[in-house]
Structure 1
Amino acid sequence: MQPTQRNTRAGNPTHTLPGLLARRAKDRPDQVALREKEFGIWQETTWAGFLDRVRSFALGLVELGVEQGDRIAIIGDNRPEWVIAELGAQSIGALPLGLYQDSISAELARMLEAADARLIVAEDQEQVDKVLEVRDRVPGLEYIVYYDPRGMYGYKAPGLMSFEAVEALGDRFGDRFPHEFDRRLVAIEPGDIALLCTTSGTTSVPKLAMLSHANLLAMAEQMVSVDPMEPGDEFVSFLPLAWIGEQMVGVASALLAGFTVNFPEETGTVRADIREIGPAFMMSPPRIWENMVSDVQVMAEDTTPLKRWMYRWAMREGVRAAEARFEG
């Protein structure tokens, strides 16, 4: 496909999410941006490597015919490929839409129809099966891209392809048009839509909310001002990336502050992976904290009297210190 002509008015590219990624890759190319645990071993991606993969995926989308304003759905567990797909779509002006990985087929079909999605990035066989089940209801859905190939051997469907295949398309496109990615990147404005998020659906069926780059980065700036983060700090991304809270921290704040985002190996290993990483910052719903406190209290009650006393003393001092800190 030939590169399309877009409005290339120069905004401030560092005030967009992919623009911040490009700046991080330039300023700290060898610093670890992402870390994913596979088979018990942490696999690292630097800021330069992160940008390279985003560029490859973005240009792969261009080669497939994805245009500015097209909707790109993403569903699956938290993995580097999720944020690569999201930032790749944003880099060419497409609109990523995150979907919860536990969505049933009917919910998935409703959101894909509402967004008129042209392509979906689905993690694995389970998610691909759900998409194939409802594909007839989404006539505009041309491509299904998976990033976990386990169980996918023998699957045949129009537009079904691997994440690596899209990246390979992008690499070849980039060889032919070496300046296309940068040209598109600088054309993105802070006020452009960066993300489509689903509403909670507590009062009616979920709807799509449009969030701009400026909106997401304003939230990130407030977050970082309250709890300062910096390059070298660690964060564990385990809450759904379809949720705006995780987007605010695991994507926008990470790009703004430059800290490392870690992805657990499995849902069941989250607690162990958090202990191993020792993140500088965590954000979780109350239930997560309640479970952690309950586990600690049970262990404290099962130990010796001296250790119970030390635990209770430490808790009192910790609460007093926290209250003093909040009061300034």
Structure 2
Amino acid sequence: MGNKICVDAGSMYCPCHLAKSGDCISCSLLSGKELCECDLKGICIYQNFKRNNEKISEPREGILCKVLKHKEIKTNIYLISISIPKCLAGELIHPGSYILLKDKKRKDDMFNSPISVMNVDLENNILDIVVESIGPKTKDLLNSDTVFIKGPYTNGIFGIKYFKQLKSKKVLIVTKGLSSVTLINAVNNLLKNNNEVKVFFDSCGKKIEEVERKLKELNVDLECFDFRDNENLIKKELKKGVDMVFSAGSNHFNKNTMNIVDSVDDTINLAITNNNLICCGEGICGACIVKVKGEKIKTCKTQIEPRVYLKEALK
């Protein structure tokens, strides 16, 4: 797993606490090794850290934001609209963006809930998210008119480099259930680079009509069917020529997608949703760690090659 890439490397949040503790994800020197193994272009985390007297960057702080609307869209599933600062809105439009959210009455960060961004209205600085009520953390959010938001966090998708590389290419997106909320940012990004996008929804999953409505507004080609009985429809689309597949679903769903793709052409680029448990978002608590080829990987901040993750971490 050499040359691991931290999604925060070179950003305003770098160097972080991990540089101070000797656990930097991207810099081998700051992770205790004697030789530089970094291939980051134009960035030297080690020099920046040492030049600044080993001072770390300011961490993300919770921002108090007003909840504009709660709407139950399915049983125990809610669409929440939140007014957010303009600077944060501009940071949450990228594929894989997520936030940590908690009720204003909760002081302890143990009540932070990682929530994927569904949509950002840049004109009015409104964030839309979908929350399923399943425990104290999320139930609090459904009864609050003000919440704390920490962000932006950006590692909600493994294989994000493929999004950045694509221009005037063909992309197939397959999705099931609540993971479909990640599609709006992903599709917006792909369309801006003149990519052709087609979306297949697995009809067996929970359907989020708001996501489908937004995608239809973007004039994206959508199809909905039972993947179990119509796997050949996916293979038929792949055989037409596809440059990237983005699978937005559970780990099991994503692994099945990989197997279908690889049965047609294992050189097609693959991106998948990051479904790991995330608590702090800063690589500190260890809740998100998975083992890949014997190495512990902090998945809240580290990009992992999707096929390697699906084959190794899910054994």
- The answer to whether TM tops 0.5 is no
Bigger Rg, structure 1 or 2: 1
Higher relative contact order (CA 8 A, sep 6+): 1
TM-score normalized by the length of structure 2: 0.29
TM-score normalised per structure 1: 0.28
Q: Which has the higher helix share?
A: 1
